[in-house]
Structure 1
Amino acid sequence: MGRVMEVKGKPQADGEWSTGFCGCCSDCSSCCLTCWCPCITVGRIAEIVDQGSSSCCATGAVYMLSMYTVFGSACISCKYRTKMRKQYNLKGSECGDYLKHFFCELCALTQTYRELTKRGFDVPLGWDGNVARHNAGVAMGAPVVEGGMRR
């Protein structure tokens, strides 16, 4: 399907996260979702960050399977935090991202989810849903002229 790459979310100051690392209380719904079903949170984040090239279901399933390994789930979720951080020029490092995901996976996931939300994404809609919402007011194609052309 035609993916529009212009959807980037609302701009924030480069370098600054919109919420703190332990700001879970500010968004109870994403906190509860992440606590009970982190695979869904990771899948949704991946789909937005990868601009639709990753499937929410596939990434979530891989994450769920990797939870049975020692470092697997942290590696997968950290990948998307790092990618999003680079897309928006947010402060941090790959090592810091990994340590956050390894020692406090739920806080790291909810912060990433909140960041996408603060930047204007309706994360549960996925990439295609956000593109459609963004382009809803844009007319596509040439205008229709009734009655043909006349002099």
Structure 2
Amino acid sequence: MTANVQVPSPRGSRNTKQRAVVLDAVRSLHNHPTSADIYDVVHRDHPNVSRATVYRNLSVLSERAEVLRIPVPNAADRYDFRCDNHFHAKCSRCGGVFDIETEGVDPLARIMDDHGFEVTGFDLAFSGVCPDCRRNSGE
């Protein structure tokens, strides 16, 4: 007779309904939402899902590279459904975070070719003022 033993799975390896709901919320928000923004969307349709559950699942999704966590100094981290290598710009006035397309620009190849450095990821965000904020201030 063999014993039926449950071996605990590593953190976040199971897909759960809550995780799917959080991932759908990130994908539905195309403006690099904060965890609070994501919670608002999840809570609207699933009021029984707690804030802690949303935050925990965002952490797991980020660890699994299913969403990209964008650290923002002096502000709430943002999340991106795009996990490919690309840059971001943050507006110092409205706090918006925007994708910067890097097609045709490959700084990683230069780092690897010129310096033999194996790049496994990067965080790069430009700071400035977005076009809407410049237009609204008359610049």
Q: TM-score, normalised by structure 2?
A: 0.23
Q: Which has the higher contact order (CA 8 A, sep 6+)?
A: 1
Is the helix fraction higher in 1 or 2? 1
Identify the structure with the greater strand proportion: 2
